């Protein structure tokens, strides 16, 4: 999850690619206050800014990531003094528990709004520990700035196109906020392209020739869900930013193709 330089084309609605078979999902069923399935979701704990000057300390506490008892995961950012930071939140990953190859990965999300809030649904190559970033590849399926509650971003990073040089695009709602309800954010990962979706709109398609460096998206990857506070991508929280702030997750799903990509 890194600050990016974005292309600024306007995506157009089109027929959603439906040639998929569901192979895994998490619908976050369980008792209110329980942590997400520890066999799948592992908290990244720390407060060093994660390379982006983030302001929060990410914990493994249920105060920051827990089920709501109604089939949702709530990742909650709090304004509180904790381990030398003024905010807490959570950063959940499937690193070491579950990886995904070619196919579709999607999440149904309701986003928070308010200056300084940075929700994200993203992926890193499973070889992260061996080759590091950006050689492992990063796929940001959805990032948002709380101060721009009607816009979400899709971006990829790799060697030669990382950080501010990431390749990406955005989607803007008309007369609505992403805090107003759930939306489905997805990426189709195929050998020759990545296609990003917001509900039934293709936000961006990326092919090897579009990138300023090597294509690094053919290997297995793991998922991340987090709600950052502050950092290089967003403003700092202000007096109007409401805490607790919550990223709500209704479901995360993985699919494999049942027929070739169109």
* Residues with catalytic function: 138, 143
* Cβ 197 vs Cβ 187: under 8 Å: yes
Q: What dihedral do alpha carbons 16, 151, 42, 31 form, nearest 10°?
A: -80
> Which 8-state DSSP code applies to residue 235?
P
Distances (CA, A) of 97 to 57, 135, 145, 223: 23, 21, 29, 10
Contact predicate 73/67, CB 8 Å: yes
Q: Which residue has the tokens 């993985």?
A: 254
**241 to each of 17, 186, 199, 230, how far by Cα in Å?**
37, 28, 27, 11
Chain length of the chain: 262
Choose among 190, 206, 108, 115: nearest CA to 154: 206
**Within the chain, what is the greatest distance between any pair of CA atoms?**
52
């Amino acid at each position: 999850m890194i600050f990016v330089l974005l292309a600024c084309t306007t995506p157009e609605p089109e027929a959603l690619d439906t040639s998929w078979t569901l192979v895994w999902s998490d619908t976050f069923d369980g008792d209110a206050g329980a942590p997400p399935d520890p066999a799948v979701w592992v908290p990244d704990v720390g407060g060093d800014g994660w390379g982006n000057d983030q302001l929060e300390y990410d914990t493994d506490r249920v105060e920051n990531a827990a089920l709501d008892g109604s089939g949702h995961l709530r990742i909650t950012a709090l304004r509180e003094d904790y381990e030398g930071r003024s905010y807490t939140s959570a950063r959940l990953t499937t690193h070491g528990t579950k990886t995904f190859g070619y196919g579709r990965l999607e999440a149904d999300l309701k986003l928070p709004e308010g200056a300084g809030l940075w929700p994200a649904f993203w992926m890193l190559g499973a070889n992260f520990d061996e080759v590091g970033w950006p050689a492992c590849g990063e796929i940001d399926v959805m990032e948002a700035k709380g101060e721009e509650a009607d816009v979400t971003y899709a971006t990829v990073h790799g060697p030669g196109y990382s950080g501010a040089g990431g390749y990406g695009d955005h989607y803007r709602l008309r007369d609505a906020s992403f805090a107003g309800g759930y939306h489905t954010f997805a990426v189709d990962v195929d050998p020759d392209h990545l296609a990003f979706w917001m509900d039934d709109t293709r936000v961006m398609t990326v092919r090897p020739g579009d990138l300023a460096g090597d294509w690094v998206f053919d290997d297995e990857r793991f998922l991340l869900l987090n709600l950052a506070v502050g950092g290089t991508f967003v403003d700092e929280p202000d007096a109007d930013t409401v805490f607790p702030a919550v990223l709500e997750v209704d479901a995360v799903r993985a699919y494999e193709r049942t027929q070739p990509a169109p």
